A and B are shown apart, each in its own frame.
Chain A
Amino acid sequence: MLMAVPTIVIVAVAVFTLIRLIPGDPAALMLGDLAEPQQIAALRSTLGLDQSIPMQFMIWVGHLFNGDFGKSIVTGEPVLHLVLSRFFISAQIVVLAVFIASIIAVPAGVIAAWKQNSLTDLALVGTATVLLSIPTFWLGLLLLLFFGLKLGWVPVLGYVSVTTDWKAGLIYMALPVATLFIHEMGVIIRMARASTLEVLRLDYITHARAKGLSEQAVLWRHAFKNAFGPTWTMIGLILGNLLGGIAVIETVFSIPGLGRLLVDSIFQRDYPVIQGCLLLVAVAYVLVNLVVDLLYPLFDPRVVAE
């Protein structure tokens, strides 16, 4: 648990170093090919790019603590505000998709394990393996092609936030959420099945059966509780990973989320925004996993939070 702090520090150093390694001068890039050297030099000093690298780092960290993540080189918007507003858009899609997927996939995985090697099990595992092999950006494209272009049920372009118009917002969110949900179902079914299988062969399950408990009770009251732990950890990892990998989904559905922001800023060499995105996702990832670890004892009392 204490690992969270040094991890975030190392991540901050890594993010800063990474960005400094990028070839190309953002000042020259912003001013275009016709800029005079004096103009470039002047802009470099306003951006703080003429300081030494360690100095730039200290200034940067100092500003971070004041909530100042800098301004976008391209639009001049404050980075923290920009990144957080985009983060909200991505997070609602990811959280909703993983939540729905878990509700369906965890019981499905438990049942597959319980009926191991039966037709039900083969069907569930087969479906899960196929689902997780389909790349999300292709699945999204196919859903868009079918439900958007062929059937015309959902708009193909544009985006409306749920906060401005919740009805329209939900319609715009439907396909991205469905895409992620279908993909993550595959991952979670397999995880839930594997951890249930490990539990089912333990002696206490044999004991519970020997006591004459019904299969229902054995499965849901005894096996499920212990089997859910690893799946729960996995769900945390998925949430974090999706935040990093959602750029492709946002590209397919033209959603102005965090992933798209990151990719666009890489194209535009918008250093402060790239740093802000990377830092925020890394911190979110660490925090999500921290919360997952802290909640773990709720499902598995044998594990005591440190």
Chain B
Amino acid sequence: MKKLTFNGVIGGTIITLLFIVAAIGMFWTPFDPMKLSFSARLAAPSGAHLLGTDEFGRDVLSRLMVGAQASVWIGFATVCFAVFFGTLIGLISGYARGWADGIIMAFNNALLAFPGILLALGLLAVFGANQYGIIFALGIAYTPSMARIVRGAVLSLREREFIEASKVMGNSEIYTILRHILPNCLAPITVLATSMFGWAILSESALSFLGLGVPPPAPTWGNMLAAGRPFIEQAAWLGFFPGLCIALTLLGINLLGDALRDKLDPRMRGLK
């Protein structure tokens, strides 16, 4: 039990800090994140600019704070998209079974046969490289795995006595699904959604790094790394801090995910 709490506390602290920094960045940053200053180009970290400045003299700390918003918002919106549609598809497919299930799952499995980032790249070519494009592309790429998990949970739940009982009591199928089946799927949904939040933040930064994500000058951690790359020899901090932010965020989410899985996943209960 000790380790479980440790993971949860560290992970929870990191993610809470991320949310706080992103929230503060909405109202206040040390400098204007977009303001160019050619006299302060590539200034090393100092008392004035805690994390230094970039190739246009913009304050790195301020840009990282605004970049945190982009990560949180894109991650959150992507997860909401995938949870909503994945759960809907999984519930329908698992509850209906039969030919509807067959067709939906054949399509679902074909999408799963595509590595997620590749599907997102293809979809981004369609939706265009901006934050909404990323949200739709990643959301669609992640929906199939959510649908599969929910369907699996529904398939085993629908044979249980309490579902039978609900039907015998004369409850409508919609009511049974929403009142009795869905709440029992929440544990696997929560665990997967937590991981997805991390995948989305990582994919967003990778896509922005490739130049296919949020376009500059709007700062995201990924496009800051890409923009700083040609200058890392003179200004190593440009290649260091944005990556550190991504890595810390992912570490927080992974630790939190582990703690949640230990707590919620019944298969893991016997192991502790």
Contacts and interface: CB of A to CB of B under 8 A. Distances in A.
Interface of A: 3, 6-7, 10-11, 14-15, 18-19, 21-23, 117, 122, 129-130, 132-135, 137-139, 141-142, 145, 149, 197-198, 201, 240-241, 243-245, 247-248, 251-252, 262-263, 266-267, 269, 274, 278, 281-282, 285-286, 289
Given A243-B115, A274-B125, A135 B247 contact: yes
B152 interface: no
- Pick the 7 closest A-B CB pairs, nearest first: A138-B243, A244-B115, A244-B118, A10-B110, A133-B251, A133-B250, A21-B126
B106 interface: yes
Contact of A285 (B113, B212, B248, B258): B113
Given A135-B247, A251-B209, A245 B232 contact: no
B243 A263 contact: no
A286 B113 CA distance: 6
Given A18-B126, A122-B3, A145-B239, A247 B121 contact: yes
Contacts of B267: 198
A130 B243 contact: no
Contacts of A6: 106, 110
Interface in B116-140: 116-118, 121-126, 128
A267 B233 CA distance: 27
A7 B117 CA distance: 18
B271 A201 contact: yes
Given A135-B250, A266-B212, A129 B258 contact: yes
Interface string B126-162: 1010000000000000000000000000000000000
A135 B205 contact: yes
29 contacts: A3-B109, A7-B109, A15-B122, A18-B125, A19-B122, A129-B254, A129-B258, A132-B254, A133-B250, A133-B254, A135-B202, A135-B205, A135-B246, A135-B247, A138-B243, A138-B244, A139-B243, A141-B239, A141-B243, A145-B236, A145-B239, A240-B115, A241-B116, A244-B116, A244-B117, A244-B118, A247-B117, A252-B229, A282-B118
A248 to B, nearest CB: 5
Interface in B211-264: 211-212, 225, 229, 232-233, 236, 239-240, 242-244, 246-248, 250-251, 254-255, 258
B121 A263 contact: yes
A233 to B, nearest CB: 14
A266 B246 contact: no
Given A133-B254, A262-B121, A266-B125, A285 B116 contact: no
Q: Which of B107, B113, B202, B247 has the most CB of A within 10 A?
A: B113
Contacts of A141: 225, 229, 232, 239, 243
A11 B108 CA distance: 11
A21 B258 CA distance: 39
Given A14-B110, A134-B247, A129 B255 contact: yes
B21 interface: no
Contacts of A133: 247-248, 250-251, 254
A262 B107 CA distance: 24
Contacts of A241: 115-117
Contacts of B229: 141, 252
Nearest to B120: A244
Interface in B83-107: 106-107
A274 B122 contact: yes
A252 B236 CA distance: 15
B113 A7 contact: yes
B206 A129 contact: no
Contacts of B109: 3, 7
A20 to B, nearest CB: 9
B210 interface: yes
A129 B211 CA distance: 28
Contact of A11 (B113, B116, B206): B113
Contacts of A252: 229
A276 to B, nearest CB: 12
Given A135-B202, A137-B206, A142-B243, A130 B251 contact: yes
A114 B117 CA distance: 35
A281 B126 contact: no
Contacts of A244: 114-118, 121
Nearest to B6: A122
Contacts of B47: none
B270 interface: yes
Contacts of A7: 109-110, 113
A169 B3 CA distance: 44
A299 to B, nearest CB: 21
